[in-house]
Amino acid sequence: MTASAPSLAARLRADETVITAWSTLAVPAMAELLGRAGYGAVTLDMQHGAHDIASIREGIAAARLGGAHAVVRPPVDDFATVSRAFDLGAEAVIMPMVNTVEDALALVGASKFPPVGVRSWGPHRAAMLQGRTPAEYLATANDETVAFAMIETPAALDALDEMLAVDGLDGVFIGPGDLSLTLSEGRELAPSSEKVQTIAADVAKRARAAGKIAGIFCNNAEDAKSARRMGFRFISHGIEMSMLLDAARARLAELD
């Protein structure tokens, strides 16, 4: 990805749909390959995946080399890693389990420089990857770093309108698996259920009305297509571990 390429923030705010791959294996080369395969973004998962600070440092650069935007999902409540991910060159962060307006404010605080947030200065790697001077990076950073709050619980749904009013929160990202678990009090995992999909559509509508970006994790192609029709513009479709397994099985099946 060249320094002159549109940022992820610019593409999403222009109402362009960006499809992200999901990376759980701490193998930076996979991020490059996913970009070369045509994904618009690669999300490096530190919450449920094997990624750590070392692997996201290399994975961010690898994704950019492959032509994709780099996104990071930190562990729950790890707001320090939000700032570090942006310092390392991530263009967006998806913070899991944001359930209150206080959580949303903490996310913004770690994502944005003053006066919007309280992010500390240190994006030397990010500026280098983007081919910018420190002054150039600072001039655009608050506009070009995307802070997504994951909506995964009834509490988050109850606080949604308050969170959407938070200055500096760029978007919300539906986690349909956890949403189905929490709504059913642990009785079912049903991310594609009519109930979850209806809620997702409502969240997308409210987010867009508030001028925010709507994102979602999708488990299959039909859900991804439906999400686009609902108004989601940042859509996850494809976990690299599953794609590798499917490709290996298909290759072996050719010998049958």
The residue count for the chain? 256
Q: How far is 42 from 66, CA to CA, in rounded Å?
A: 10
DSSP secondary structure of 39-100: -SEEEEESSSSS--HHHHHHHHHHHHHTT-EEEEEPPTT-HHHHHHHHHTT-SEEEES---S
Q: Is 48 among the catalytic positions? A: yes
Q: How far is CA 1 from CA 5, 41, 62, 64, 194, in A?
A: 7, 11, 10, 5, 38
Residue 145: both structure tokens together: 């770093």
Q: How far is 44 from 163, CA to CA, in rounded Å?
A: 24
Q: How far is 211 from 25, CA to CA, in rounded Å?
A: 34
- 131: burial class by Cβ within 10 Å (0-12, 13-18, 19+)? exposed
- Contact predicate 39/71, CB 8 Å: no
Spatial CB neighbours of 93, under 8 Å, sequence gap ≥ 6: 71, 72, 73, 74, 82, 85, 86, 107, 111, 145, 146, 147, 148
Distance from the Cα of residue 237 to its chain's centroid: 12
Active site members: 48
